[in-house]
Amino acid sequence: MYIKSFCFVILLFIFFGAIAQTDSLFTTDTFSIAIPAEKVVNGKYKSFDFLDNRKEGIEDLGYIAKDEGLTTDDKLYFIKTPNPLSIQFKELFDSLNASPIDSGKLLLQLSRFKFTSLNMENFNRSFLFRANLYSVTEKGYCRIDHIDTIVKLKEIELFGGNVYKRLERAYKRANKAIVDFISRNLTNSGNSNGQYFSRSEVINIDSIEKKDIALYSYDTLVDGVYTSFLSLKHQFPEYTDFDAKFKKGRLVKVEKKSYSADDNMDYFIPDVYAVVKDEKIYININNTYSLLEKKDNDFFFTGKLNLETDHTARLVMWLFVTQLAAFFPGEKSNIKYDFKLDHVNGACIPIRSSNEKK
């Protein structure tokens, strides 16, 4: 009885001690679109509309970590926005659009707007910005431009000085991408012979785009080894003469069936992005192959986030790993996560812990 009570008190002490540390670990900062002094003359648009197609939270703009470590001396900065982005983009449009000569209407469709320090793919310390611009006419919505960019926040990696000054410089890099995208299209009326969409089609533009992508539209996939998302997307494998090695039903290795003198007598296949074998797709993440499963015209897989490098995993497991690890045996360095394959650039987007499904 006394032992159980003692253990309970110790656990309570640890728990409240962990809560007390959160102020030194996490903090919140705000980002707003900065209105530039520049103006655009002879614009084609007089009015502006906004469509938010983001899958993430409306006010949650992600987070930034100063460096790879998460210690009591290094905070994670959660980024919030004080005003809805719909209002901020409208204010940006009004400010830039000094003297329009036409009465057109411009629609901005926002699909991604997020800061991240996730150490996967090319996302480490980045601002992710994806959007479409449409000219709204009597015929429908004509897409005049598209942006899908990863803005590297290099200043975050600098040490010393005031961290808020570094964040401010990082925000300026993100802001420049936003302003440039809007300003360069205010005089762009689009192609009168271009494709027009209904409002419903615009809302579901991902489904429209996937119809033109072989990976999503083909009934039969091409067996082979693919070294990039682009080749997988278009179903053009770089290697079709290959051996796939399985262990306990899991793909563990791929290599050439034969080699030539140009290959330096080597069976090794470098830079494997994905493998298609018997109508099944295996994606290579950190030299581990995971099976892609298609659901609702999207591809998903279960992989691991490394607690030693991935800030998202650290957020999920921080209290458990730092405060309670001594009480629980087993591997704590990785947690399983469900990912979705981005149909535009092939990025692996974490959507939830695999335990949340159960």
pLDDT tens column, 297-351: 999 998 876 544 444 444 443 333 333 333 333 444 456 778 889 898 888 877 7
In a domain, residue 310? The reply is yes
In a domain, residue 3? The reply is no
- Distance, in Å, from the CA atom of 226 to the CA atom of 237, rounded to the nearest integer, reads 5
108 and 140 together in one domain? yes
* pLDDT for the residue 69: 39
- Distance, in Å, from the CA atom of 340 to the CA atom of 352, rounded to the nearest integer, reads 10
Q: Is 347 helix (H, G, I), strand (E, B) or coil?
A: coil
List strands edge to edge, sheet with 274-277: 224-226, 274-277, 280-285, 288-295, 298-306, 334-341, 348-353
* pLDDT for the residue 154: 64
93 and 178 together in one domain? yes
* pLDDT for the residue 2: 56
Helix/strand/coil (H, E, C) string of 139-189? Answer: CEEEEEEEEEEEEECHHHHCCCCCHHHHHHHHHHHHHHHHHHHHHCCCCCC
Q: For residue 356, is pLDDT > 60?
A: no
Across the chain, mean pLDDT equals 78
191 and 283 together in one domain? no
276 and 315 together in one domain? yes
CA neighbours within 13 Å on the CB side: how many for 322? Answer: 21
Q: Which domain holds residue 241?
A: 214-357
Domain final residue pick, 203, 234, 250: 203
Domain final residue pick, 203, 236, 267: 203
* pLDDT for the residue 61: 85
- Distance, in Å, from the CA atom of 109 to the CA atom of 50, rounded to the nearest integer, reads 6
Task: Count how many domains the chain has.
Answer: 2
Of 32-46, 112-126, 217-231, 342-356, least confident by mean pLDDT is 112-126
52 and 185 together in one domain? yes
In a domain, residue 6? The reply is no
In a domain, residue 169? The reply is yes
- Distance, in Å, from the CA atom of 136 to the CA atom of 142, rounded to the nearest integer, reads 7
DSSP β-bridge partners for residue 337: 303, 353
48 and 74 together in one domain? yes
156 and 227 together in one domain? no
- Distance, in Å, from the CA atom of 134 to the CA atom of 129, rounded to the nearest integer, reads 17
In a domain, residue 253? The reply is yes
191 and 53 together in one domain? yes
335 and 234 together in one domain? yes
* pLDDT for the residue 345: 85
CATH of the domain at 90: 3.40.50
Q: Confidence band (pLDDT; 50, 70, 90) for 291? A: very high
The answer to whether the CB of 143 falls within 8 A of the CB of 132 is yes
Domain final residue pick, 158, 178, 203: 203
55 and 182 together in one domain? yes
* pLDDT for the residue 258: 72
The answer to whether the CB of 235 falls within 8 A of the CB of 218 is yes
Q: For residue 173, is pLDDT > 50?
A: yes
In a domain, residue 16? The reply is no
Q: Which contiguous run of DSSP H or E holds residue 79?
A: strand 76-80
Those residues with Cβ within 8 angstroms of residue 326's Cβ, 6 or more apart along the chain or in another chain: none
242 and 352 together in one domain? yes
The answer to whether the CB of 202 falls within 8 A of the CB of 209 is no
Q: Confidence band (pLDDT; 50, 70, 90) for 22? A: very low
pTM: 0.76
The answer to whether the CB of 305 falls within 8 A of the CB of 312 is yes
181 and 218 together in one domain? no
DSSP 8-state symbol, 239: B
In a domain, residue 2? The reply is no
In a domain, residue 345? The reply is yes
Q: At what angle do helices 163-183 and 85-96 cross, to 10 degrees?
A: 60
